[in-house]
Amino acid sequence: MRMVDLIEKKRDGQALTDEEIQFIVSGYTKGDIPDYQMSAFLMTVFYKDMMDEEITTLTLAMANSGEMIDLSSIQGIKVDKHSTGGVGDTTTLILAPLVASVGVSVAKMSGRGLGYTGGTLDKLEAIPGFHVEIPDEDFIRLVNESHVAVIGQSGDLAPADKKLYALRDVTATVNSIPLIASSIMSKKIAAGADTIVLDVTTGEGAFMKNIDEARRLAETMVRIGHLANRQTMAVISDMSQPLGEAIGNSLEVVEAIETLRGKGPEDLMEMCYILGSQMVVLAKKADTLDEARAMLKEALESGKALDKFREMIRNQGGEESIIEAPERLLTAKYQIELPAKTAGVVQKIVANEIGIAAMLLGAGRATKEDSVDHAVGIKLHKKVGMPVKTGESLLTIYSNSESIENVKELLYKNIEIGSSGTEPELIHDIIT
């Protein structure tokens, strides 16, 4: 088989066979297929798309390119949750302990963020002492004992995806539904969970800018999950404005603690109830979504969920005292308010641009080699649909530098105030 023939076949819009796709994935992972041929192939997929069968074969070939984690020694159904990305998305920090506190086993492998703010691992590392590099045996023991552990992806998990993602990043081929779906699902399948709850975001802060694209991505991933024998469902959620109020690593840990105390932002809380209820039902701990929601509400109100977060922090070497004094994490040198220039109603808070503003402060990475500043970020005081008076603070900037005119300018440009504005729907659709 020759790679050039396969590029030509896809270029001409034909479907590839299982054998051909496996040849491409294993050849590229081993280094037999060079980057220039793989780049050409990725671009043909970008333009010519793939059939469902091709996407499934591609996903399974990528999942099988490295270690397949075996979680069978963890009792019961293991649930994983994955978001396709957003700004201020603190849900994992809340959901993992919340759902674990009602007896659902959450064995979660997370990633670091590139662009915008950090990923879940960066956020957890804002907690002093918290370890995310844990050997597989300890990970499994913790989930068996405590129902929850959130760790970094093992180095050999879906290596084909790691290599391909790096190439897609520099060849303008990230934003392709078959490539995103296979990239995400290969890692989820290799990570071993029985059940996968997907949060497919849509809007300016997401890969999928419109609902139709998000629906196709969600349907594709759910289908792959089913074909790989994993219970899978997807929620299509809004990411036109940031979720919750905090954007930045320490700020999001503080927000997670507040939410687990029942004092978090309404949209974030609701998102956690929606995703959490699905996780509880899929794990067979409740028969209906209403029953699951009632269990989660009780866990939150009784303090069980917050206790579980404390236990998770302790188990992974973190300083649990931050639960009682989360403000200790807010160590940025400056807290700078951004006053509204006009009165009215907030019409738009462009999620990706607010994420870029947080990244410019140091909360995210522009390249893989950058380190993140856990202390910096943005705390929104106004969300879309809220009234605002002239001079009232729209948000607080947590910064370690005083000269942030570029950040302020970017924020002003991307927060629109007008005569009316309505809060966007949080959930657009559910795909099972």
User: Interface with ligand URA by CB under 6 A: which residues?
Assistant: 84-85, 165, 174, 179-180, 183-184
Q: Do residues 80 and 221 touch, judged by C-beta distance below 8 A?
A: no
42 membership: H or E segment, kind and range: helix 35-48
Smaller CB distance to ligand URA: residue 165 or 412?
165
Catalytic residue among 10, 112, 168, 383: 168
The C-alpha atoms of residue 333 and residue 404 are separated, in whole angstroms, by 13
CB of 99 to ligand URA, least distance (A): 22
Active-site annotation holds for 147: no
Q: Beginning with the edge strand found earlier in the chain, give each strand of the sheet holding 377-380 in spatial order.
A: 246-247, 377-380, 393-399, 334-339
CB of 173 to ligand URA, least distance (A): 9
CB of 219 to ligand URA, least distance (A): 16
Q: Which two tokens stand for residue 252?
A: 């999001």
The C-alpha atoms of residue 294 and residue 352 are separated, in whole angstroms, by 34
Smaller CB distance to ligand URA: residue 163 or 383?
163
Active-site annotation holds for 82: yes
Active-site annotation holds for 187: yes
Active-site annotation holds for 161: yes
The C-alpha atoms of residue 350 and residue 60 are separated, in whole angstroms, by 36
Q: DSSP readout, 68-121?
A: ----TTS-S-EEEEEE---SS--HHHHHHHHHHTTT-EEEEEE----SSS--HH
Smaller CB distance to ligand URA: residue 100 or 217?
217
Phi, psi of 69 (to 5 degrees): -70, 135
CB of 82 to ligand URA, least distance (A): 8
Catalytic residue among 146, 176, 183, 240: 183
Smaller CB distance to ligand URA: residue 84 or 154?
84
CB of 316 to ligand URA, least distance (A): 23
Phi, psi of 63 (to 5 degrees): -60, -40
Catalytic residue among 187, 188, 285, 428: 187
Catalytic residue among 80, 89, 122, 161: 161
Smaller CB distance to ligand URA: residue 119 or 377?
119
> Among all residues, which ones are annotated catalytic?
82, 161, 168, 183, 187
